[in-house]
Amino acid sequence: MNELSPLANAPSRAEHAAGLAEYQADGVRRAAAIDNRGPVRLGPDGRLHPEVLAAYWEHGYYIFEDVIGPDEVEALRTDAINMLERAPVRPGADVDAKGRPALGRDHAREPYTFTKPLGDPWGGTTKLNGRHPSQMAQPVAGSDAPEEVVFLMYGMCQEMPAGLRVYGNPKLLAIAASINGEDFVPYNDAIFVKQAGLGGSVAWHQDGVTHWNNPNWDMGIHGFNFQVQLYETTPANCLWTKPGTHKEGRIDIKKLVAENGDAEALPGTVPLVCQPGDVTVVNRQMLHGSFANTSELQRISLTFGFHRRASVLGQKGALSMGAETVYDKKRVSERSAVIQVGIDARSKHFPDEAPFQYQPFVGLEDEHRLNDETFERVIRDYNTKDLAI
């Protein structure tokens, strides 16, 4: 799967964990000094309190605590684990580990990607527009490790009923509107699976690929990603980021890593340590990545992003979307409809919660109730219409 072979003299799992311990402790101290975590605080207008929004724009990320209640976290875990267990037993297989037909063989987009245990599938490769230029350490996994492990799962709104409902979460959508404007649009979703002692790394990168040379470039032009955390995240298994880097433009990551003696532990970074049900918001221009999970704890992060409409409309496909694609009004509207169906799925399940009013679909709610027809029209294979930039 890698275009580069793993580094010679790769550390053992224990050596890797021990080697990062001091760096992790420093990162925890740095993170604690930044005032950018707490509950979702909304103002009388139903949008993020200006202080919270200012902290997000200042540092480029925010950790919202206790957003998803325990019952909903449990439903999300059940759906995510079910999806994980129904993965092909190995890449290309038709059956899962229990011999059942693997999920997604009839999907227009493959719902799973795999990595070598503790591997780095993207670092130093040209994959995903070459945005991960340096390779992370690839420790040696235990002798009982499988050849390949699930790394990412796609299509949570189609395969996870609780995933579609969380897509319509009014607090999260209020955050999206506060950051990207009332006519915000979706990006994509991907579930990062970092199994204990097996999960692969995500090499240092910035997400955005389209607007770096745009004369109207600014710190919000490539949108942001949420991560809904289903389990406790720790410095050893979590996402790391470098505060403030969303303001810097395109960073020469290869040079940065070379200047760090080719070591993956880049200076000045912080871990996004969370409890289950916390939700992080990370600006897609931030320098971020995660290490091979040599720890004892798994992480499963539901990752889904949102953009300003103006950042996407008329742009060409990038990342996992073909460059021949153009994000015209029809495409943007079709992909955005998933949000409105998610809002309806949520109101059916949580009738006492005030639903989010998604401005582009005001007056179109009845055509986007969750039913068999909308499932076929809007939800099935919706992620062939992602709006990646």
Ligand X SMILES: O=C(O)CCC(=O)C(=O)O
Residue ranges in contact with ligand X by CB under 6 A: 192, 202, 207, 225, 239, 288, 290, 301, 303
**For 48, which DSSP code?**
B
Closer to ligand X by Cβ: residue 89 or 319: 319
Nearer to ligand X, 271 or 317 (CB): 271
Q: Report DSSP state, residue 61.
A: E
Are 152 and 230 in contact by the 8 Å Cβ rule? The answer is: no
Please tell me whether residue 116 adopts helix, strand or coil conformation.
coil
Distance, in Å, from the CA atom of 319 to the CA atom of 305, rounded to the nearest integer, reads 14
Tell me the helix, strand and coil percentages in the chain, rounded to 5. Answer: 30, 15, 50
The least distance separating ligand X from the CB of residue 303, rounded to whole angstroms, comes to 5
Euclidean distance between CA atoms 333 and 327, whole angstroms: 10
Nearest Cα neighbor of 235 from 66, 10, 21 is: 21
CB of 192 to ligand X, least distance (A): 4
Nearer Cβ to ligand X (221/343): 221
Residue 178 vs 303, nearer CB to ligand X: 303
Q: In angstroms, what is the minimal distance from the CB of 301 to ligand X?
A: 5
> Rounded to whole angstroms, how far apart are CA atoms 274 and 304?
17
Least distance (Å) between residue 369 CB and ligand X: 31
The residue among 7 and 128 lying less far from ligand X, judged by its C-beta, is 128
Residue indicated by tokens 């950042």: 311
Rg (CA), the chain: 20
Nearest approach in angstroms of CB 183 to ligand X is 23
Helical packing angle, 170-180 and 50-59, nearest 10°: 70
Comparison of 7 and 319: residue with beta carbon closer to ligand X: 319
Strand order in the sheet with 112-115: 37-38, 61-64, 279-283, 224-229, 299-307, 185-194, 149-153, 112-115
d(CA 258, CA 134): 9
For ligand X, give the closer residue by CB, 138 or 347.
138
Closest contact distance (angstroms) between CB of 240 and ligand X is 8
> CA nearest 264: which of 19, 32, 61?
19
Gap between the Cα atoms of 388 and 321, Å rounded: 7
Residue nearest to ligand X (CB): 290
Q: Tell the smallest beta-carbon distance from residue 238 to ligand X (Å).
A: 8
